[in-house]
Amino acid sequence: MTRNQPLVSLPAYTHRSLERTVRSRTCRAPLLTGAVLCCALATSAAAQDLVPPAVTRVPAPALSLTGNVDSNSPAVWGLVDGVETLQVVTSIDGRPSLATGRRLTRMGPAAPVAFITHPGDGVWIESVIVDEGGTWYGYYHNEVPAALCGRLDRVMPRIGAARSRDNGATWEDLGIILEAPPGWHDCATTNQYFVGGVGDVSVLLDRESKDLYLYFSQYSKAPAAQGVALARLAWADRDAPAGRVSVFNGGAWLPASAVVSEDGDHTRVDWHYPFGTALQPTARPWHDDDPGTDAFWGASVHWNVALQLYVMLLNRTRDEQFTQEAVYVSFARRLDDPAAWTLPIKIVDGGAWYPQVIGLEIAAGSDKQASGRARFFMGGQSSSFIEFKPR
């Protein structure tokens, strides 16, 4: 109960982290000529001396994932009847499905997955990590109707975890592992989908199999608590993750706070999480009187073997309706520091939501690992390869 409790009250704790983050942001400039942002959170020396690789899209035969898509789509290799087999999880309208095939171009039809225990409301499984014993750990975006605002046409997303012991066919819910700070929503928002919350998550396990890193999108009312941020979960805590996720804010990993309440003879524990420092500041925030918005969201991260770098694709919106301005790419040598990422570079004007790289190598290429040439998807559709070359 007390392991993750901060030494100050939750309001003071959250206010202090907000003030620290606001003070750390000193620029709000627009785009440079070309496609590189001139405004960003102060980058580390590691990011400053990293020359972004060349990125090229090359036309390819049209290819679609066999399930409908409105989120990131995990791809997992494993032995099925002794044969290396690719399995892809797709999600649409809060319902995940699973497709199986011998390679990306030979996938079978997608069939709905089952939940032994379900978190309720819509679930989009966006990342899957497999342990050495073959157990799948899925990390999902969960949309809860905004009943507290009296607006059932809007939602407040949160992030949860689930486990599968049968290669993704059935799932056991492990609980919610990350939410926006309580009260940080805007019932009067003109946003088309969200009144607040966190979601649209991409999860990677570090090279030492020590920690999971969650790159997630923030939609809170406060501008400093918007944009793509970073959280961490010890891999050893994967079977009991609730309350064990910490969030990177202002140079420190901030833990969750346990809030204990009594309900008759029962004791209830709720976990409150701090917000995260965004990789890139939101230049024009969500939820204000300006219909325009300038924010990055929906990261998709993979390890690129050819570059020996992590690669992140990002959506960038131009308004509260999530109209796509462009797709961007960023690079980093490490997962554990938001400042390690290079300034995002535009690779597609406009484009569709959920850009994603899926590697082509048998038994290795996936949404989490690719090489110098991979498939480039947007919304589950691919009409090009994407090539990465060091400069």
347-391, pLDDT tens digit by residue?
999 999 999 999 999 999 999 999 999 999 999 999 999 999 999
The CATH number for 360's domain is 2.115.10
d(C-alpha 224, C-alpha 218), whole Å: 10
pLDDT of residue 38: 41
The region that residue 373 occupies, defined by phi over 0 for left and psi between -120 and 50 for alpha, beta otherwise, is beta
Q: What is the DSSP letter of 53?
A: P
CA distance 158 to 40: 26
Beta pairing partners, 57: 386
Residue 321 neighbours by CB under 8 Å, 6+ apart: 192
> In percent, how much of the chain has pLDDT > 90?
84
Answer whether residue 3 shows pLDDT above 50. no
Average pLDDT, the chain: 90
CB neighbours (10 Å) of residue 132?
6
Q: Is residue 2 part of a domain?
A: no
- What is the total count of domains within the chain? 1
Q: Which residue has the higher pLDDT, 61 or 31?
A: 61
Distance (Å) of CA 358 to CA 148, 281, 307, 329, 369: 39, 28, 15, 15, 7
Q: Is the pLDDT of residue 47 over 80?
A: no
Percent of the chain exceeding pLDDT 70 equals 88
Q: Examine residue 1 and state whether it is found in any structural domain, yes or no.
A: no
In a domain? residue 254: yes
Cα(384)–Cα(391) distance, rounded to whole angstroms? Answer: 22
Instruction: Find tokens 């994932």 and name the residue.
Output: 65
In a domain, 59, yes or no: yes
- Beta carbons within 10 angstroms of residue 111's beta carbon: 13
Residue 381 lies in domain: 10-389
- In a domain, residue 125? The reply is yes
Q: What is the pLDDT of residue 263?
A: 80
Question: By mean pLDDT, which of 3-7, 87-91, 296-300 is the weakest?
Answer: 3-7
pLDDT reported for residue 18:
52
Residue 117 in any domain: the answer is: yes
252-273 mean pLDDT: 91
Q: What is the pLDDT of residue 289?
A: 85
Per-residue pLDDT tens over the stretch 190-219:
999 999 999 999 999 999 999 999 999 999
Whether the per-residue pLDDT at 303 is higher than 80: the answer is yes
Q: Is the pLDDT score of 135 beyond 70?
A: yes
Residue 109 maps to a domain: yes
For 144-192, write each residue's pLDDT tens digit.
999 999 999 999 999 999 999 999 999 999 999 999 999 999 999 999 9
4 located within any domain = no
Q: What is the dihedral of CA 235, 281, 196, 18, to 10 degrees?
A: 80
310 burial type by CB count under 10 A (0-12 exposed, 13-18 middle, 19+ buried): buried
